[in-house]
Homo-oligomer: A and B are copies of this chain.
Amino acid sequence: MTEKPQKKPSARSWKQDPEAVRADILRAARAEFAEHGLSGARVQDIAERIKTSKRMIFYYFGDKEGLYRAVLEAEYKSVRQAESELNLEGLAPLEALQKLVEFTFDHHRANPEFIRLVMIENIHNARHLKELQNLASTSSAAISQLERICAAGKAAGVFRADVSPLVLHWQISAMSFFNVANENTFRTNFGADLFAAEGQAQLRREAVRSILSAVRP
């Protein structure tokens, strides 16, 4: 379950690889927190997911909330990293916007654990997220992408003059997030069709359509 890349290949090294243990704990904790929430997660169960003891978790992360905070921070960093790697250079504004919507839609779908952590964090009124000041600086790359796209779109006359990048981000996030976050209640209430392959393709197309048609002058 846990290969250790150990930077210094100290030959017969057998145990004692703090960084790998830390990383293992983080992964296991992410899964456990995403599955059961903060109060629902059991420290014991996190330890049992990997080959370590409860003791180690408190040793490295202090307490349960400290571990939760570490998971949250790592996850946000990783997601923002992925966001920043989307390259929209050289695309016309409408094309760029379409690609951004499709990317966001797909990226949310591909990262349900992150979605669940954000849901959980909202249940807690973002109390823990607020304490992560390291994150404050790196405000999402998606916003700056949208700002560039909007500026270009307005300059080219293909966007309304009063489109707001922030509102656009809100709309794109809303559909992409809801699609994953509320899948279970939605399918229970209205059937599973929208969550099969064709249904998802349709929702993706319609999300693109509603965003693109809303920015037109």
Q: Is the CB of B210 within 8 A of A171?
A: yes
Min CB distance A134 to B, Å, is: 13
Q: Does A164 contact B (CB under 8 A)?
A: yes
Q: Is the CB of B177 within 8 A of A193?
A: no
Q: Does A179 contact B (CB under 8 A)?
A: yes
Q: Is the CB of A214 within 8 A of B203?
A: no
Which chain A residues numbered 160 to 199 have a C-beta less than 8 Å away from chain B? 164, 166-167, 169-171, 173-175, 177-179, 181-190, 193-194
Interface band, chain A: 35 or more
Contact of A123 with B126 at beta-carbon distance under 8 Å, contacts A174-B179, A214-B213 already known: no
A175 — nearest CB in chain B belongs to which residue? B174
Contacts of A52 in B (CB 8 A): none
Min CB distance A99 to B, Å, is: 18
Contact of A169 with B190 at beta-carbon distance under 8 Å, contacts A36-B39, A39-B40, A211-B210 already known: yes
A179 to B194 alpha-carbon distance, docked (Å): 22
Chain multiplicity (copies): 2
A20 to B213 alpha-carbon distance, docked (Å): 52
Contacts of A186 in B (CB 8 A): 170, 173
7 smallest A-B Cβ distances: which pairs?
A174-B178, A126-B184, A210-B214, A39-B40, A213-B213, A210-B210, A174-B175
Sample of 16 more A-B contacts, CB < 8 Å, known A37-B39, A122-B185, A213-B213: A39-B39, A119-B122, A122-B183, A130-B188, A143-B190, A167-B194, A167-B202, A169-B190, A170-B179, A170-B186, A171-B210, A173-B186, A178-B178, A206-B214, A210-B214, A213-B214
A binding-site residues for B, Cβ under 8 Å? 36-40, 116, 118-123, 125-126, 129-130, 139-140, 143, 164, 166-167, 169-171, 173-175, 177-179, 181-190, 193-194, 202-203, 206-207, 209-211, 213-214, 216
